[in-house]
Amino acid sequence: MSKRRWQKRSLGLGILFAAVLLGPAAAGAQEDVNQLKAELEAQKQRQAELTDRINQLEARQKLQEKTLDEKIEQAAAPKPEERKADIIPESLKWASKLNWSGDFRYRYEYIDDDSKTTDRHRNRIRARLGLDARLSDEWNLGFRLATSEGQDEGDPVSTNQTLGGAFGKKPIWLDLAYLGYHPQWCKGLDITAGKIPFPFYRPGSNQLIWDSDLTPEGGALHYGTSLGEKTSVHVNAGGFWVAERSSAADTALWGAQAYLKHEIDGPTYVLGGAGGYWYGNLQGQEALSLQWESNADFFGNSNAGGVYTSKYDLIELFGEFGTEIGKMPVAVFGDWVRNTEALDTSQDTGWLVGTVINKATKPGSWQLEYNYRDVELDAAVGQFTDSDFLGGGTGGQGHLFSLGYVLVNNVTTALTYFADEFDGRKGNVDYDRLQLDLVVKF
């Protein structure tokens, strides 16, 4: 064998021997490399998951910080009236102190008066627009325009206009025009002057003595204060100019009233009070209706020769009790009046008892009212009593039933029925009156 061939064979055998010896070691090294790669991949996966988790936490933290910033901004933001004041020019800032209000009522009415030969069907509207101007913490001005009927002036106890006057235009009258003073140095005191809202308390909003549309002319004050956590006392007083005459003495009205209200427990309360009302220079004067129309109507009051024959000095006692029955508010009330100067003492007294069940305040809510009254001829001045009971005035008794229902916000409907009877007036016959109302307010 040649030397060169032996060298090649020896090199081959060496390589084979090395492969036999090193083969297992190389295989083990490759396995280690593969395991290391797997561990690196797993570590990369864990790192990716950790990075994603960190991103989620950072996003959540930013969202919480944004929400917190928004809440801080809302808390620090000016109130609506402050923003309104900021955007209104200085020359127009007075407008932000004006508060408008108003209402419209459509009424269908059926009247069955047995003293007349035919029944009456009529459709009527009422429209009112009011404005209150807050001048300062102590002063305000109030105005209101309203429909009414009358020739010289508007009916003092009605703001209705009857439809069907050959499409004639309907007059608008000044219903309220007053100045209010609310001194900071005497909390609870309110003074009003001009043509003012009715100033005396009427339990259950009843109309035994005073119609709800009456807006007297003169000045009045109200003072209310607490006598403890659950008891308060209220005083009302005023002087009013009823009729001004150029050739005779004027007729005036003076009134004072006080009542106490005590809260027994939660919504349960009791209220009681008394009042006095004195008419100056009414006896011997012509009918007050002539102040606003051409027809002389004494509305049941005693008269002869076209003048009043009685004086009118009234005393009033009233009470009210309210509570809840099954979360439903219920109130019962009573009112009593006597004319201490009536010429005929058998015709000097009036009284009323009634109840109000539930309150029509939100859509779907209802309110039921009932009262019974008996008003003798000279118990009160007929011109100013309820204009719907007996068609207005005194000298009768009867029932009132009323059901109100709120259709939607600011839209209410009501059905009211009067079942009355004249007594000492119009031949003592029946008087029935049905009213269906739809009222929209703003």
**Is 359 in contact with 365 (CB distance < 8 Å)?**
yes
Residue 17 CA, chain-centre distance (Å), reads 110
What gap in Å lies between CA 174 and CA 176, rounded to an integer?
Answer: 6
Q: Are 148 and 114 in contact (CB under 8 A)?
A: no
Which residue type, as a one-letter code, is found at position 99? N
pLDDT for res 97:
86
Domain layout of the chain by residue ranges: 1-77, 84-441
Residue 414 is predicted with a pLDDT of 98
Q: Which residues of the chain have pLDDT under 70?
A: 1-30, 32-33, 71, 75-88, 91
What digits encode the pLDDT tens for the residues 75-114? 666 565 555 555 667 767 777 889 999 999 999 999 999 9
> Residue 20's pLDDT is what?
45
pLDDT digits (tens, 9 = 90+) for 132-175: 999 999 999 999 999 999 988 999 999 999 999 999 999 999 99
The pair of three-digit structure tokens given for residue 150, joined into one six-digit string: 């009358």
What pLDDT, on a 0 to 100 scale, did the predictor assign at position 1?
Answer: 52
Q: How would you classify residue 432: left for phi > 0, otherwise alpha for psi between -120 and 50, otherwise beta? A: beta
Q: pLDDT at position 83, please?
A: 55
Please provide the size of the chain in residues. 442
Give me 430's structure tokens: 């029946």
For the domain spanning 84-441, the CATH number is 2.40.160.10
pLDDT of residue 14: 57
Are 406 and 362 in contact by the 8 Å Cβ rule? The answer is yes
CA triple 303-304-309, angle to 5 deg? 50
Predicted pLDDT of residue 37: 75
Instruction: Please give, one letter per residue, the 3-state secondary structure of the chain.
Output: CCHHHHHHHHHHHHHHHHHHHHHHHHHHHHHHHHHHHHHHHHHHHHHHHHHHHHHHHHHHHHHHHHHHHHHHHHHHCCCHHHHHHHHCCHHHHHHHHEEEEEEEEEEEEEEEECCCCCCEEEEEEEEEEEEEEECCCCEEEEEEEEECCCCCCCCCCCCCEECCCCCCCCCEEEEEEEEEECCCCCCCEEEEEEECCCCCCCHHHCCCCCCCCCCCEEEEEEEEEECCCCEEEEEEEEEEEEECCCCCCCEEEEEEEEEEEEEEECCEEEEEEEEEEEEECCCCCECHHHHCCCCCCCCCCCEECCEECCCCEEEEEEEEEEEEECCEEEEEEEEEEEECCCCCHHHCEEEEEEEEECCCCCCCCEEEEEEEEEECCCCCCHHHCCCCHHHCCCCEEEEEEEEEEEEECCEEEEEEEEEEEECCCCCCCEEEEEEEEEEEEC
